[in-house]
Chain A
Amino acid sequence: MAYSSKVVDHYEHPRNVGSLDKNDVNVGTGIVGAPECGDVMKLQIKCDAAGRIVDAKFKTFGCGSAIASSSLATEWVKGKTVDEALQIKNTEIVKELSLPPVKIHCSVLAEDAIRAAIEDYRSKQSRLAGAETAAAGSR
């Protein structure tokens, strides 16, 4: 089975490979998949004070389609608010990369990775807000 030219392009020139500081409160990290299943994706987002995604990075263990799906996901989330990023659907990834049916799970994993990263970011932010309220109360 031949790969689509877009998958090959993302594989050969992956966008946004790397890592952000996972301890930064403005960074959300999502790790999905499992080595036994043959794919693990780590997707990270970094947001500004207004909750807009200003940076995104990924690392993926998986087939070419998994790498391309996560690379595309980082491209797409950048510049979006977290609410907008949650609207990204795996079917759009499938369409953009022309993924065959056997590779649809790669796009699902990329969508899951976006969600997991946003969830992590939000839970950090609400913990931070909670800590600030607590600090304000004790003052």
Chain B
Amino acid sequence: MKLPIYMDYNATTPVDPRVLEAMMPYFTQDFGNAASRNHEFGWTAEDAVEKAREQVGAAIGASSKEIIWTSGATESNNIAIKGVANMYREKGNHIITDVIEHKAVIDPAKYLEQNGFRVTFLPVDKHGMVHPEQVREAMTDETILVSIMHGNNEVGTINPIGEIGKLCKEKDVIFHVDACQTFAKQPIDVETMGIDLLSCSGHKIYGPKGVGALYVRRKRPRVRCEPVIHGGGHERGMRSGTLNVPGIVGMGKAAELCVQSQAEEIARVTRLRDRLKDGLFNRLPEIYLNGHPTERIPNNLNVSFLYVEGESLMMGFSDIAVSSGSACTSASLEPSYVLKALGLGDDLAHSSIRFSIGRFTTQEEIDYAVERVCAAVEKLREMSPLYEMAQEGIDLSKVQWAAH
């Protein structure tokens, strides 16, 4: 087993060697511009891009014509949200999303709010789920767009996308899904799920960073987005700029590989994730699972370890790469807005760790992590005044803290 161990697959993934291999020729040999219509170099590049479009479309039951290349899911979300808002502003000015979306959805929505749109940020339940009834109740005659994520990147909860999609179809409202964490890794069908726009990214699926895609429905209904980036009218006018051919080839290959092993990989990763969960929960008292107990992406485990602070805990197993909702690890000095939206107190939010595993995680690594994490929690609890007070029977919520 090689150290350090990577358990932060929700943040990004390594490029699969097979993906890199597929990309290589397009840097030096087949380096043409896919928009060059008059020579071999351009045609080769264009063929490669079209093949990748099919590979990405196939992962979600879409036609290749409905795939727009972008620089990543952040850009895809921006085109979907701002693009639809600007295109359909005559029809209405109301947008529905929720409070635990990725910032790449929240920030464009807030931007629109400052520019004359009305945005409803739906609350989530204690497991981080949005319910279709909430969406139904929030809809008005002015609603033009609903944007709800598939799998949450922090707590892993999977939303009932199919039901929300059905509702949007009934009400003739455009439905966007940020599927960054589930694309190609979970079964998705844009037809049966009623999805009109879907964002995804290369680097979450063992492809390269800096490439992503946006699915834009072409029939029933034909959805249009105003571009965010102007300049030449590439990608059906929705996203100008010379295409990142090697990146696109890599994303296509990555999507294909994920789809090929999807069912086995879900089973394997679920088993490893549950082994990690059971290992921690069987040994440590007073730890809590964040996110939905069953409706969650298989590779994510988010746990709050009461009485210990997340950043210090991460220091205790510095040879395992994870992330934390603790304020100390973020630039804002605020604990995770996602965990707070689930109703966690700041103390539990400060105590959270997100483990996320993937294709290259082994059982040996899981067992090592269980051992290291438990030892660190036990050591830090011995050092924790909160643990000591709780052992003495003091109700921590009733203490008058000398806050600073």
Contact = CB atoms under 8 A, between A and B. Distances in A.
Interface of A: 3, 8, 11, 14, 17, 19, 31-42, 59-64, 66-67, 102, 105, 108-109, 112, 116
B403 A33 contact: yes
A44 B346 CA distance: 26
Interface stretch (B3-11, B29-37, B327-335): B327-335
A34 B333 contact: no
Given A38-B346, A59-B385, A63-B328, A32 B402 contact: yes
A29 to B, nearest CB: 10
B263 interface: no
B345 A36 contact: yes
Given A11-B315, A14-B383, A31-B385, A40 B401 contact: yes
B309 A102 contact: no
A37 B403 contact: yes
A35 B347 contact: yes
B382 A36 contact: no
Nearest to A37: B403
Given A35-B347, A38-B309, A38-B346, A61 B403 contact: no
A60 B345 contact: no
A63 B386 contact: no
Contacts of A67: 312, 383
Nearest to A11: B315
A72 to B, nearest CB: 14
Contact of A60 (B385, B396, B401, B403): B385
Contacts of B315: 3, 8, 11, 63-64
A109 B307 CA distance: 18
B308 interface: yes
B378 interface: no
A112 B383 CA distance: 19
B384 interface: yes
B199 interface: no
Contacts, number: 88
Contacts of A38: 309, 326-328, 335, 346, 350
B349 to A, nearest CB: 9
Given A41-B385, A61-B307, A67-B383, 16 more contacts: A8-B315, A11-B315, A19-B388, A33-B401, A34-B402, A34-B404, A36-B345, A36-B346, A38-B326, A38-B335, A60-B383, A61-B309, A62-B309, A63-B315, A64-B312, A112-B402
Interface in B385-402: 385-388, 396, 401-402
Contacts of B388: 19, 42, 59
A40 B384 CA distance: 8
Nearest to A42: B385
A46 to B, nearest CB: 17
Given A36-B347, A38-B350, A62-B309, A17 B403 contact: no
Give the dominant DSSP class at A's interface: mixed
19 contacts: A11-B315, A19-B388, A31-B402, A32-B402, A34-B401, A36-B345, A37-B403, A37-B404, A39-B309, A59-B388, A61-B309, A62-B312, A63-B309, A63-B312, A63-B326, A64-B315, A66-B309, A66-B312, A112-B402
B54 interface: no
A121 B386 CA distance: 22
A113 B127 CA distance: 37
B311 interface: yes
Contacts of B402: 31-34, 112, 116
Nearest to A33: B404
A112 B404 contact: yes
Contact of B403 (A36, A42, A63): A36
Contacts of B387: 61
A128 B316 CA distance: 43
Contacts of A39: 309
Contacts of B386: 35, 40, 61
Most A C-beta atoms less than 10 A away, residue of B307, B387, B402: B402
Nearest to B311: A63
Interface string B340-363: 000001110010000000000000
Most A C-beta atoms less than 10 A away, residue of B309, B316, B326, B387: B309
Nearest to A7: B315
A137 to B, nearest CB: 35
B312 A35 contact: no
Most A C-beta atoms less than 10 A away, residue of B326, B382, B383: B383
Contact of A34 (B311, B384, B403): B403
Contacts of B308: 61
Contacts of A41: 385
A59 B383 contact: yes
B288 to A, nearest CB: 15
